[in-house]
Chain A
Amino acid sequence: MLPRDVTNMQPGMDPDNASLEAKTAALAEEVAELKHLAESFERWHQDMIRLTTSNRHLHRKGEDLLAVARNLIMVSLNAAIEAARAGESARGFVVVAAEVRSLALKAQELVSELSVGLHKSNLLTAATFQDIQAGGKLMMAAVSGLGSSVNRLRSNED
């Protein structure tokens, strides 16, 4: 809201000019405030870095989990072979080994899907934040242009 108060006008000053001057001064203040937008853009950029760093960390954990699942598949396969060699007495163990293998395969599939999801998420995050960053520069340029216009207006008043 622009102030309409012209009570501080100097003696002899045209009331219309005084009002315009007050409005221009208020506009200049608003423009100066808008320049703080840059701080918001910087904060969003830092958020993006934190988000993608966190994704990378999850990605590494996923790879560790994938390695565990692969090992588990091999172990269950060897267990099934050993159980088969042991014959009738190890028939129950064959079933357990097959179940462990099935679970390990499922875990491998889920971790692979998680990895794909993280890559997709990283791209979408980066694309969105880069657009915000570049859009922020556009807005700052617009604010700067507005500031220059206000300054020109004020210098015309002097």
Chain B
Amino acid sequence: MSSDQANRNLAEALRRVALTTLVRNASDDCTIVEASRSAQEELLGSRLLVITISSFTFRLLTIFQVSEAQPTREYYTSGLTARSLDEAFAEIANMCCGALGRELSAQFKHLAMSIPYGLESQCARFLDELQPRFRASYDVTINNAARVRITLCLCCNRPVEFAAARLAEEDHARGELELF
């Protein structure tokens, strides 16, 4: 179980890292809005990319869907010849989740992240089978063109509290966490 405030703090941590890791240029315009359950029925692409951050008390599945439409494809692959959207975006998603892991590691000493794994997008319809204590999706739009959806799915057996914003400077000063 996690409180509403803890869930908001977790969502805010995701928002912070998404704003900086999902864009290819710092000056790109990036908007993030929470997707309603009905909006989530519309699958954004044919694939999901799942990455899990685990601790001894919880596991957090971060599920990325990237649009396969041309604007998104161009945004993530332009200038990267001979790279597919899946390959290019897997790297971006890995960085995003790694940054989220680093944010959380300021609060949880023992955390580790899985490697990304691709699934068919229809699998997203069964996330409730994991009996998450918190589940929310966010639609990310970059430069009014590229579209990504991120879903957080938090599973825990005992109460987990996520603190409000951590000191990013402190995290950076500690350098890259080995586990991520």
Pairs of residues from A and B, 5 with the lowest C-beta to C-beta distance, nearest first: A137-B112, A134-B54, A130-B52, A130-B114, A123-B123
Interface residues of B (CB under 8 A from A): 50-56, 59, 61, 110-115, 117, 119-120, 122-127, 129-130, 178-179
Contact between chains at B130 and A124 (CB < 8 Å): yes
Q: What is the chain A residue whose CB lies nearest that of B52? A: A130
Tell me the A112-158 residues at the B interface (CB within 8 Å): 119-120, 122-124, 126-127, 129-131, 133-138, 141-142
A60 to chain B, nearest CB (A): 11
Q: How far is the CA of A29 from the CA of B55 in the complex (A)?
A: 27
Would you give 13 A-B contacts (Cβ < 8 Å), ordered by A? A119-B126, A120-B129, A122-B119, A122-B120, A123-B129, A126-B117, A127-B50, A130-B51, A130-B117, A131-B52, A133-B114, A134-B53, A138-B112
Query: Which of chain A's residues 57-95 have a Cβ closer than 8 Å to chain B?
Result: 59
User: What residues of chain A lie closer than 8 Å to B122, measured between beta carbons?
Assistant: 119
Q: Is the interface of B mostly helix, strand, loop or mixed?
A: mixed
Q: With A and B bound together, what is the CA distance between A126 and B122 in angstroms?
A: 14
A24-64 Cβ-contact flags toward B at 8 Å (1 or 0): 00000000000000000000000010001000000100000
Does B110 lie within 8 Å of A119, measured CB to CB?
Answer: no
Q: Please measure, in the bound complex, the distance between the C-alpha atom of A136 and the C-alpha atom of B52, giving whole angstroms.
A: 12
Interface residues of A (CB under 8 A from B): 48, 52, 59, 119-120, 122-124, 126-127, 129-131, 133-138, 141-142
A119 — which chain B residues lie within 8 A by C-beta? 120, 122-123, 125-126
B59–A131 CB distance below 8 A: yes
In the assembled complex, the Cα of A137 lies from the Cα of B113 at a distance in Å of 8
Q: Is the CB of A126 within 8 A of B50?
A: yes
Closest beta carbon of chain B to A125's beta carbon, Å: 9
Instruction: Give the shortest distance, in Å, between A131 (CB) and chain B (any CB).
Output: 5
Q: Report the minimum CB–CB distance from B102 to chain A (whole Å).
A: 15
Contacts of B126 in A (CB 8 A): 119-120, 123-124
